[in-house]
Amino acid sequence: MTNFYLRWGGVLIVAIVFIVLTYNHYRDNLASLVPQQVKQEAPTGDVRVLGMVQGGTLETREAGEATFTLLGKNATLPVHYQGPPPDNLRELKILILIGTWNAATQVFEARDIGIVPNYGFIAGAYLLGLLPLALFLFAMARRVNFLYEEIKASKLYEED
């Protein structure tokens, strides 16, 4: 029985290590700020901001240049976008903006737009697929071990 738990402990550790590594791999893509944080913390350098394009504020000047207001939970952020012509820049669309915060002009200078990644679905699917299988297998394997031990123990009553 000790061997059995040791083996499953090993499986558990490997699984946890794998989950942590995968999370680290995707962390850069997952992390993003909301407009309120940008205004308060005034980060320097490249940041990723998550928000929704406020209705009625989008003005496209030419392909690849636009201004709009990004709506967060309880703050808005004026945005000036200049970069590759965006495919999915529409009003009321939830986006991730990549760019820098210009503290002097109080405008976010965006240079790229990413759609909101749906890693939640992927993580959900993998957990739903593998976790029940692992639990099921663990329960079965444990029961088999118990049964073998019970059979060994019942040798007392064995007829010759």
> Does the footprint of other proteins cover residue 158 (CB under 8 A)?
yes
**Interface residue with other proteins, options 14, 16, 42, 103 (CB under 8 A):** 14
Q: How far apart (Å, rounded) are the C-alpha atoms in residues 71 and 68?
A: 10
Q: Of 56 and 132, which has the nearer Cβ to other proteins?
A: 132
Residue type, 8: W
Q: How far apart (Å, rounded) are the C-alpha atoms in residues 113 and 50?
A: 10
Cα–Cα separations (whole angstroms), residue 85 to 60, 62, 81, 147, 158: 10, 9, 10, 66, 82
> Does the footprint of other proteins cover residue 25 (CB under 8 A)?
yes
**Smallest distance from other proteins to CB 110, Å:** 20
Which of the residues 56 through 115 are near other proteins (CB under 8 A)?
115
Q: Which residues in 33-160 belong to E strands, given as ranges?
A: 47-53, 59-62, 65-71, 76-82, 94-102, 107-115
Instruction: Summarize as ranges the residues that interact with other proteins (CB under 8 A).
Output: 11, 14, 18, 21-22, 25, 115, 117-119, 121-122, 124-126, 128-130, 132-133, 136-137, 140-141, 143-144, 147-148, 150-151, 154-155, 157-158
